Chain A
Amino acid sequence: MNLEAEGLQKRYGDVRALDGFDLAVPPGVIHGLLGPNGAGKTTAVKALATLIDVDAGSARVAGFDVRDQAAEVRRRIGLIGQNAAVDEILGGRQNLVMFGRLYGLSKVDARAKADHLLDMFGLTEAAERAVSTYSGGMRRRLDIAAGFILTPAVLFLDEPTTGLDPRARNEVWAAVREVAEAGTTVLLTTQYLDEADQLAARISVMNHGRIVADDTPAALKRQIGGDRVTVTLAADTSLDSTAERLTAAVGIPAGPDADTHSLTFEVGAGVTALAGIVRALDDLGLVPEDLVLRRPTLDEVFLTLTAAPQEAAR
């Protein structure tokens, strides 16, 4: 295992940021750490990257203990935090040369490495410009390049696409894949199921400071079910009776939600089921306010994943 954590505990006052956090990631894969805001993802990354001390538990990164062999760990990791932690005043090349020299490269080697990384991450044209003039995606890519100077054994990426537009996000995804192809283990935290699904070979779902599920994206998706179709009913349509009638007509249970006056179907392959739901609405003579086909939200993922073991125990 390239990343191993056992029973990590970290408290901030009354908040248990890490509460028995376990993780095992083999070398050379992208591992997704999926969770909502406040789940403890960043705290876990900071603990693994030797930035904070935990209260209990142990962790090894690239074979070294994060507490007792922090210097060894730091030689083998790259850390890309939530804010693009590159120097905004300096240019892209200046940043990479500086980080290269801090990693112990000679001036000549640091310059050569900087040129190579600028090319690899598509930043050669902007190399001399001050980073403050970069777009969000460019900044992120420079950030990742800086974490990639020594081709680290483990690269930590903490929510690398939060706040980026779709195009910049795709650029960052390409950069992350590039990193993994070079043989680096990547721990990627994200709030987006989509992102973890796109990039990660395996996903750990985190909530309240601990892992609540750990599996391949395909298996997790099977577990949480397929797409959702939500039908928002007109105000004068009765929620409960419509739910019963639609459940019978479609053959899939319709889950009522009184707050939004809507019914949600968990459907396997979204589009075919959608046709059935539309036909059933038509047959019943109902005109809905709104009809949406969508991926499960992170909330629903957590509900499903945390509810499943309890139901099984009943």
Chain B
Amino acid sequence: MTAVRAGWILTQRNLAHWARQPWTPIFGLMFSIMLLLVFGFLFGGAISVPGGGDYITFLLPGMLALSMMFGVESTATAMAGDARKGITDRFRSLPIGSASVALGRVGADLANSAVELLVLIGGGLLIGWQITSDPASAALAVLLLLFFRFSMLWIGIFVGLAFRGEGATMAVQVLVWPIGFLSTAIVSAETMPGWLGAIAAWNPLSATATAARELFGNPTGITEGPLADSAVWLAIGWPLLLTAVFLPLSARAYRRLRSG
């Protein structure tokens, strides 16, 4: 059987999990909404946007990008869980292409993330966020966000396969926080100390967040530097690079199950 067909069957399997246990994706969603509310209303009053603009309008595209990055946790956890429970071995003993298991994960997680984006965008519009650009640009913003999620998927698959222990997924869960905050997702890099701002500006998450702001017609909080000039290109380039690194690593980790 082709890996694509088997991948689709495994996508359905992963989606069926959410139908059986809807609280898992619902809690994930509630968590994103909670973060949005905490930063939008609790901290938001104290945060100013360089170059001007309303903080909620600045924040929302950043939250969208941040929730795409947090998806790496659920990907890694699900991959490691299947490997630990012997289900991955069962799949490996079947006459299906070796890419199937990863494709099933990719399909289900992208579907989940697309729903998450829709809900957060709807929620954002309710609390005063506005899209001031044209529909084509807004659609491109959504695509770039999903592309970023796609690159995160391969990091998650690699971590889940290569380090099957629970410790690895715990490490991912902890690490996403500093990496998520050390970016322009929540505050502009230009309000940070110089060296910290420079690191934040080079965070792939910042590229996607800034590109989404531009494309939705929202304030970017960036007035100079590569991020101000070519955020959209960076939001294409970074995920491409991450995928180019972690997709082969994931494939290698999957093959290495054979030596174990």
**A interface, CB within 8 angstroms of B:** 46, 49-53, 71, 74-75, 77-79, 81-91, 94, 98-99, 101-104, 130, 146
Contacts and interface: CB of A to CB of B under 8 A. Distances in A.
A63 B225 CA distance: 65
15 contacts: A51-B89, A74-B93, A79-B90, A82-B86, A83-B85, A85-B87, A86-B87, A86-B90, A89-B16, A90-B20, A94-B16, A98-B12, A102-B91, A104-B1, A104-B95
B194 interface: no
B117 to A, nearest CB: 24
Interface in B234-260: 257-260
Contact of B16 (A51, A90, A101, A103): A90
Nearest to B20: A89
B168 interface: no
Interface of B: 1, 6, 9-10, 12-13, 16-17, 20-21, 85-87, 89-96, 257-260
A261 B87 CA distance: 48
Nearest to B6: A102
Given A75-B95, A102-B1, A52 B6 contact: no
A190 B59 CA distance: 60
Contacts of A84: 86
4 closest cross-chain pairs (CB), A and B: A85-B86, A85-B90, A79-B93, A83-B86
A91 B96 CA distance: 22
Contact of A103 (B17, B95, B257, B260): B95
A221 B16 CA distance: 50
Contacts of B96: 102
B93 A51 contact: yes
Contacts of A130: 20
Contacts of B95: 71, 74-75, 103-104
Contact of A52 (B1, B20, B258): B258
Contacts of A81: 86, 89-90
B89 A79 contact: yes
Contacts of B12: 98
Contact of A89 (B21, B86, B90, B257): B21
B174 to A, nearest CB: 26
Nearest to A156: B93
Contacts of B13: 87, 90, 98
Contacts of A98: 9, 12-13
Nearest to B91: A102
Contacts of A50: 93
Contacts of A75: 95
Contacts of A99: 94
Contacts of B87: 85-87
A51 B92 contact: yes
Nearest to A76: B95
Contacts of B6: 102
Contacts of A91: 20
Nearest to B84: A83
B90 A74 contact: no
Contacts of B17: 87, 89-90
Given A74-B93, A87-B87, 4 more contacts: A51-B258, A74-B94, A85-B85, A99-B94
B22 to A, nearest CB: 11
Contacts of A89: 16-17, 20-21
Contact of B260 (A52, A77, A78, A83): A52
Contacts of B89: 46, 51, 79, 81, 85
A185 B13 CA distance: 30
Nearest to B8: A101
Contacts of B92: 51
